[in-house]
Structure 1
Amino acid sequence: MSCTETPTAPGEVSAASAVKRLDQKLIDMPMNADAAPAHRVPLRERLRSGVDWPVVTWIAFLHAGALAAPFFFTWKSVLLAVFLGWLTGGVGICLGYHRMLTHRSFDTFRPIRWIIAGLGNLAGQGSPLMWVANHRKHHAFSDHEGDPHSPQHGGLWSHMLWLMPRFSRKHYDSLYKRYAPDLLRDPFVRLLDHTFLLWYFLFGGALFAIGYFGWDFYTGCSFVVYGMFVRLVYVLHATWFVNSASHIWGYRNYETRDNSRNLWWVGLLTYGEGWHNNHHAFQRMARHGHRWWEVDVTYWAICVMEWFGLAWNVVHDARPKAAA
């Protein structure tokens, strides 16, 4: 040991090892062996604790705002929505929230990790803490009792109604500690959780300013309608289709204990997330498209990052040789 190195106490080493083992278990979440098969429960029973009106209002507000799209149509606004949809949905959610934060399919520099998490925070789907914790719980109980959004309780439930029940702060604290303790240790992730809505006002204001000062008032409004409302409605439903449609229709490459499916049109809408059976079979793999026709744009983006030295420890393949 160098004279400049600080000795580490045995207790600190064992504690760090325990944390690392816990993190590893969470990012490659095993299916709960004791999970009971899901049985359909009436919606009123699932809403017994009440309706989360802030969430319902948020979703309704976004859809109402998107209805203004025909009155503010410009091609540059459409292109803006497409680009921002990929940036916040493709990079922020699919690459960031899902493959980077939830499953640790690759590593990157901390500033880049924070930037990508910030992009995901602008996709309208909650903070990284909430998203990752719910998704890891989904893997632990997929299509069994305990799954937050299984189609076993109805297609519309798995698509969006699962967001309606109200839960206490204590519930979320417990959820985060159980399924996302690694993210709780990240100060920037905690900041995003506490300031979720603030970033939308800042981003919306920036879009309006760019349109207004770059062109005129109408363009400023158009940038907000398309860059915020239309984009968010698209990204939300595209992601929700992974939870709903990709557990109902499609084909299976692998036998899993859930009903996950590969669905081509969801794969196209979500930059590769629709190859859902592949993902449930091998969670940590950065590549969700396992056959040549299973297009996975998000995996290509990770490969580009790796080529430029911005990503490493990429889990290109986790399948046994016989399955590869």
Structure 2
Amino acid sequence: MAILLFFVGHWYLSLFTQTFFQHRYAAHRMFTMSPLAERLFFILTYVAQGSSFMSPRAYALLHRMHHAYSDTPNDPHSPHNSANAFAMMWKTRNTYQECIQGTSVAAQRFEGDYPEWPVLEDFAHRWYSRLAWGTAYMLFYINFATAWWQYLLLPIHLMMGAVHGAIVNWAGHKYGYQNFDNHDKSRNSLFFDFLTGGELFQNNHHKLPSRVNFGVKKWEFDPSYPVIVALDKLGIIQLKAPRHLSEVVA
């Protein structure tokens, strides 16, 4: 039971930091927050993602490229440009490293307006940081696992952020339905998107990239949206006014 609770908790906490901080805040700037709140969410993201931590800056660059070149050969993670999900993940990993190192020419036009904390980001990418997190996960399993099959979940902990990204980018551009013709292959993959925190409403998001609620139809529920609204009402973040009328009406 402890292993399953740990896995589910890690899954959703890591998922929330990715969709809230790296995607909706860093890449799209859907809301603002104070410098102190930004640092606290930086730390939360590092702790939640652990060995699979992704730089918000590099994430923003990758995601902005994805929107600009959706499902074309220049898309850093379209399933239609890779033979399988693992090949797509490897291509994404290589482009991410180029963004980290500043060698991506394609990413240059998308530079700027994202949160940065060089000291923490550099530390998080060091081998000893990733090894420490992996060791912590392993020790937890050694102490609390009650069956051999539970160890099969351990690799997912190690690559949690990459696994989330692979599910969203592969399924979100191959399976499901379309509300809009975006001239790409984006899809809404789940009727109720509980497993990925709203991220699998890809077709909606590609049509309305500044809309903080990824659900558009009345029956499309984005589970991250109520949390973001609550954070706004508590004064922790400040939602921006919608830029277009289509972003207001669901």
TM-score, structure 1 length as denominator? 0.62
Report the equivalent of 2:8: 82
1:85 Cα offset (Å): 1.6
Distance 2:108 2:138 in 1: 38
Matched residues, number: 240
Report the equivalent of 1:3: none
Alignment partner of 2:130 out of 200, 216, 222:
200
- Higher Rg of the two aligned structures: 1
Report the equivalent of 1:66: none
Distance 1:255 1:151 in 2: 18
Report the equivalent of 1:110: 35
Alignment of 1:231-246 (within 5 A): 231-233=157-159, 235-246=161-172
Alignment of 1:121-136 (within 5 A): 121=46, 122=49, 124=52, 126-136=54-64
Report the equivalent of 2:246: 320
Deviations 1:122-154 (A, max 9, x none): 261632222111111111111123111122313
Contact map agreement 1:282 1:319 (CA 8 A) in 2 = no
Deviations 1:49-96 (A, max 9, x none): xxxxxxxxxxxxxxxxxxxxxxxxxx1121122112211222x10111
Pairwise CA RMSD? 3.5
Alignment of 1:4-23 (within 5 A): none
TM-score, structure 2 length as denominator? 0.78
Unaligned runs of 5+ in 2: none
Which secondary structure does the structure 2 equivalent of 1:236 belong to? helix
Alignment of 1:4-83 (within 5 A): 75-83=1-9
Whether 2:198 is the aligned partner of 1:268: answer no
1:206 Cα offset (Å): 5.9
Whether 2:107 is the aligned partner of 1:179: answer no
Report the equivalent of 1:248: 174
Distance 2:170 2:192 in 1: 10
Give the letter for the 2:76 counterpart.
Answer: P
Deviations 1:211-236 (A, max 9, x none): 59xxxx623999xx699644345553
Distance 2:248 2:231 in 1: 29
Identity rate, percent: 25
Give the letter for the 1:145 counterpart.
Answer: P
Contact map agreement 1:256 1:281 (CA 8 A) in 2 = yes
Give the letter for the 2:82 counterpart.
Answer: G
Alignment of 1:293-308 (within 5 A): 293-308=219-234
1:107 Cα offset (Å): 1.2
Change over 3 Å in CA distance of 1:308–1:255 after alignment to 2: same
Report the equivalent of 2:79: 151
Distance 2:108 2:82 in 1: 29
Distance 1:177 1:261 in 2: 28
Contact map agreement 2:89 2:162 (CA 8 A) in 1 = no
1:262 Cα offset (Å): 0.6
Which secondary structure does the structure 2 equivalent of 1:81 belong to? helix
Distance 1:230 1:149 in 2: 19
Report the equivalent of 1:28: none
Contact map agreement 2:186 2:202 (CA 8 A) in 1 = yes
Give the letter for the 1:139 counterpart.
Answer: H
Contact map agreement 1:138 1:147 (CA 8 A) in 2 = yes
Change over 3 Å in CA distance of 1:298–1:171 after alignment to 2: same
Change over 3 Å in CA distance of 1:321–1:273 after alignment to 2: closer
Tell me whether 159-168 or 250-259 shows the greater mean CA deviation. Answer: 159-168
Unaligned runs of 5+ in 1: 1-74
Contact map agreement 1:207 1:227 (CA 8 A) in 2 = no
Tell me whether 125-134 or 268-277 shows the greater mean CA deviation. Answer: 125-134
Whether 2:135 is the aligned partner of 1:218: answer no
1:250 Cα offset (Å): 1.2
